[in-house]
Structure 1
Amino acid sequence: MHAGTATASVAAAALLGAGTLLLSGTTADAPGRDAGAADRPVAAAGVRTVSDGSGPRTDDPLVIAHRGASAYAPENTLAAVDKADDLGFDWVENDVQLSRDGVPVVVHDTSLKRTTDAEEIFPDRAPWAVKDFTAAEIARLDAGSWFGPGHAGARVPTLQQYLVRIGRNHQNLLLEIKSPEVYPGIEQATLRVLRQEGWLDREHVRSRLVIQSFGAGSVRKVHEQHPDVITGFLGAPAVAALPSYAEFTDQINPAYASVTSAYVAAVHALKGPHDKRLQVSAWTVDDAEHAVRMAGYGVDGIITNAPDVVREATD
């Protein structure tokens, strides 16, 4: 999703407001995690569930660390994943694109210019599009100095490296397929790596993995290629169009500014391809006021750069 690094006010709020951090996950005894999470059934869309899924949500919305805890570490890096883990958050979101040689890499922008030193290392390669660089070339880039000197030397991880790290941390993944129109075959390439790393087994597809995209066609391809995988569509389709989306997606994930309680209710009124109620995760919410508003609207998840701020606000 498009969202900048959290402002200084968000960081200040995090310092002032961070308290006990509770979030469902797979490591029940980790500090700050929800001790009952390991025994709680997981909803089809990878967020907290209540009763049979047919009534209103009574649990707090799941908090998902956007590009890792990207208010505090460079986005989409292993450092951001580790920071989310340190804060006690099990769900992280990332963005996947393809290198020139077809390797899925974890980076948000279709250009490497903003979050790496590609312009310095490869001055003659403007506009520094991800698709024009091999995985080996991307691995040379510094993806942390732009965020702060303490993160100099951080790298753009491959999806394989990213999965190894979140697996080690016992974290779960909301994976965004980025700009699928630029990368023919990205769905198959992404699923291949997920399969190789054990992320398409029953445990993962049931409760630890969601694949989403702004491209409805891309979401449909994932559903067709691996029907067991939970999928999400990024955006807010018209209410009249929601039944057609429910044929291939389990989540409708809109920008928070477009969310209303009526829209959430309309989404919840439908069941997705796994015969579970469609769910809603709103993005990108970095302040307490909007977090409380989203929770009041009944969203199932909140995607945020500052997960501790949101968790504190919605607990």
Structure 2
Amino acid sequence: MLVKNLCHRLIASALVAGMFVAPIFGANVAVAQDAKQETVVIAHRGASGYLPEHTLAAKALAYGMRADYIEQDVVLSKDGVPVILHDIHLDTTTDVATKFPGRKREDGRYYAIDFTLDEIKSLTVTERFKADSGKQVYENRFPMEFGIFKVPTLEEEIKLIQGLNRSTGRDVGIYPEIKNPEFHRAEGQDIAKAVVSVLEKWGYNNPASNAFLQCFDWAETKRIRTELNYQGKLVQLLGENRWGAPEGTDYDFLKSDEGVLEMAKVVDGIGPWLPQVIEGLSENGTAIMTPTLIAAQRAQLMVHPYTLRADQLPKWAGDMDIALKAIFDDAGIDGIFTDFPDQAVEYLARNPDA
């Protein structure tokens, strides 16, 4: 693994130094795919198993736990500022219903896009809870009543991570997701353009930059690459059609051999739901790989599934080590999104050949 890591660092250094020249769009994709990274741990919404998701505290803890990448889900405020929230709604992680009781829509939900940045900054963020009952989703995580956190902007989070990179000498990457571009477009806002603008401002604008940009909307992913001409690493997220796919996105097709080849023309990796790449364990205890995973690896796409949680393990995994062995050792998957980045980092330290 040390040799492999050294090779990756040399390739990345060469890219930065300009030894690989990719003057056209297609070549940029190929270069990014060739610079295949070492096995990575992606902190899902930060160290969200320990602190409320998407708070700067959760991101700082994930950094301290030595995650390789830290995820940012991005939505827009009323005044067009990219802010970090998992949902387009505010009412399952903040006290918006208490502070702004008259601002809900007809469906009873509170939408971030209806609030200015100043209004969003006035809210207190807590551990995730159910909007209907107010009950904490993960009962044994950080207590809701101890909420002392705020909603960060994308730029604030980039400053935190880049600042820590400077003060520690490390190079932890970012992994933003553009949330629901179809909804934002209907509200008169172009979230992809806003996010790409911020990323390019902060240097995440080429295949060698330490960032992945992800989206569930296949039409929007293609637009980001072509119309917006984003040159950084792109990841297509995969869901299930039964969840409600964006217009122009057919997850059943994207999971097929033909669909994987189509994605490989545009993106550098895929972000599948974990059951879409590992079906379970065989009789001898090794991972059963899905056709989608096999096709993606054949197409040399990076594979970063979501989401491994120590307190909500797959039915086939008795503990985190069993799950991580299946993911890294058996299936040869490149990285994993997890709420518990410390446990994945520790597993890889104990198993350096994973």
Structure 1 length-normalised TM = 0.76
Q: Aligned residue for 2:174?
A: 173
Q: What code does the residue aligned with 1:283 have?
A: Y
Q: Aligned residue for 2:155?
A: 160
For the structure 1 residues 151 and 44, does the alpha-carbon distance in structure 2 shift closer, same or farther, using more than 3 Å as the test?
Answer: farther
Q: Aligned residue for 2:224?
A: 222
For the structure 1 residues 282 and 36, does the alpha-carbon distance in structure 2 shift closer, same or farther, using more than 3 Å as the test?
Answer: same
Q: What code does the residue aligned with 2:202 have?
A: E
Q: Aligned partners of 1:145 and 1:254: how far apart in 2?
A: 25
Matched, 1:44 2:32: yes
Matched, 1:269 2:271: no
Deviations 1:252-305 (A, max 9, x none): 1111112143432211222xxxxxx31101110123322221111111111100
Q: Aligned partners of 2:150 and 2:233: how far apart in 1?
A: 29
Q: Aligned residue for 1:183?
A: 184
Partners of 2:51 and 2:127 within 8 A in 1: no
Matched, 1:143 2:143: no
Q: Aligned residue for 1:246?
A: 264
Q: Aligned residue for 2:302?
A: 279
Deviations 1:151-205 (A, max 9, x none): 53311111111111111122211111111111121111111122233333x5xx4
The more displaced of 149-158 and 186-195 is 149-158
Q: Aligned partners of 1:47 and 1:266: how far apart in 2?
A: 19
Partners of 2:196 and 2:230 within 8 A in 1: no
Q: What code does the residue aligned with 1:104 have?
A: P
Q: Aligned residue for 2:322?
A: 289
| Displacement after TM superposition at 1:138 (Å) | 0.5
Q: What code does the residue aligned with 1:259 have?
A: V
Matched, 1:237 2:240: no
Q: Aligned residue for 2:214?
A: 212
Q: Aligned partners of 2:73 and 2:34: how far apart in 1?
A: 17
Partners of 2:209 and 2:232 within 8 A in 1: no
Q: Aligned partners of 1:144 and 1:249: how far apart in 2?
A: 34
| Displacement after TM superposition at 1:243 (Å) | 1.4
For the structure 1 residues 40 and 83, does the alpha-carbon distance in structure 2 shift closer, same or farther, using more than 3 Å as the test?
Answer: farther
For the pair shown, which has the larger CA radius of gyration, 1 or 2? 2
Q: Aligned residue for 2:197?
A: 192
Partners of 1:264 and 1:298 within 8 A in 2: no
Q: Aligned residue for 2:316?
A: none
For the structure 1 residues 253 and 38, does the alpha-carbon distance in structure 2 shift closer, same or farther, using more than 3 Å as the test?
Answer: closer
| Displacement after TM superposition at 1:144 (Å) | 3.4
For the structure 1 residues 195 and 218, does the alpha-carbon distance in structure 2 shift closer, same or farther, using more than 3 Å as the test?
Answer: same
Partners of 1:84 and 1:90 within 8 A in 2: no
Q: Aligned residue for 2:275?
A: 257
For the structure 1 residues 75 and 36, does the alpha-carbon distance in structure 2 shift closer, same or farther, using more than 3 Å as the test?
Answer: farther
The equivalent position to 2:83 in structure 1, one of 105, 125, 132, is 105
Q: Aligned partners of 1:210 and 1:101: how far apart in 2?
A: 25
The more displaced of 227-236 and 103-112 is 227-236
Deviations 1:74-105 (A, max 9, x none): 11111111001111223111100111111111
Q: Which of 1 and 2 has higher RCO (CA within 8 Å, sep 6+)?
A: 1
Q: Aligned partners of 1:38 and 1:247: how far apart in 2?
A: 22
The more displaced of 67-76 and 146-155 is 146-155
Q: Aligned partners of 2:34 and 2:151: how far apart in 1?
A: 26
Partners of 2:65 and 2:345 within 8 A in 1: no
Partners of 2:42 and 2:336 within 8 A in 1: yes
Give identity over the alignment, percent. Answer: 31
Q: Aligned residue for 2:110?
A: 128
Partners of 1:68 and 1:80 within 8 A in 2: yes
Partners of 1:105 and 1:156 within 8 A in 2: yes
Matched residue SS, 1:176 = strand
